[in-house]
Amino acid sequence: MKINDKLRELRTVLGLSRKKFAAACGLSLTAISYFENGERIPSEESLRKIIDAFHINGERFFRDLDLDTERHLRKISIDERWLRRQYVEKELPAAQIAGQYGYSKSTVLSRLREYQIPRRPKFGHAGPQPPSQYPEVVSYLCEGRGDPLKVLDGLSSREALILGKRLGLGKTPVQTLESIGAELNLTRERVRQIQNLALRKLSSLPGLRNRHAAS
């Protein structure tokens, strides 16, 4: 039996919607939809989450499946633009992309190499990396042209706080999205959204834009 048919049959027997099924086993609704539609082949880690969530006999579950054959018949496809958005723009780590969307980490890393998407340095090797969005604003603030703290006056207190921590403005050490999120009780993605909103606001300030253009 194909894995997508097996998962659909299991969910039907349990009487669960895709949303409830996904929540119960700790996978995203998107991943379960792709699995059932045969658009992606789940990693063994994802299958183990499903087995553990519903206390399924693993030996019986895998008995009728030929996962190795199915994986070799079709290369697992990941859309290049989608992957660039998750890894480059949202700055999600490969392991998080894999876990949220039901891939294996090795698959994500393989597609990064295939699409020639540069890997980010590991934290601790090159330190926290600056935001990739609005580089002209980032360089203006980081290179000490003008008074960066005065520029931040146009932001909300939370936006200014997060951007100051991300860029190491004033006497604040540069921090990662993760460390700021832990400090402010926010998710990494939420910190990234606030950071990019602040950068977008600053990019529209005529004074900042004109001074940068003249440099």
* pLDDT for residue 125: 46
What's the CA gap between 198 and 184, in Å, rounded? Answer: 17
- Which pLDDT value is given to residue 149? 66
* 124 pLDDT higher than 80: no
Q: Do domains 3-73 and 135-214 have the same CATH topology?
A: no
Alpha carbons 152 and 7: distance in angstroms, whole number = 51
pLDDT tens digits for 172-209? 788 888 888 888 888 888 998 999 999 998 888 765 65
User: Does this model's pTM top 0.85?
Assistant: no
Nearest to 101 by CA among 168, 147, 32: 32
**Per-residue pLDDT, 208:** 61
Q: Where do the domains of the chain lie?
A: 3-73, 80-114, 135-214
CB 43 within 8 A of CB 86: no
- Specify the fold of 3-73: 434 Repressor (Amino-terminal Domain) (1.10.260)
In eight-state DSSP terms, residue 146 is: S
Mean pLDDT for 49-53 is 86
Q: What CATH code would you report for 135-214?
A: 1.10.10.10
Q: Is 81 exposed, middle or buried (0-12, 13-18, 19+ CB in 10 A)?
A: exposed
Residues 109 and 112: their CA atoms lie apart, in Å, by 5
pLDDT of residue 206: 65
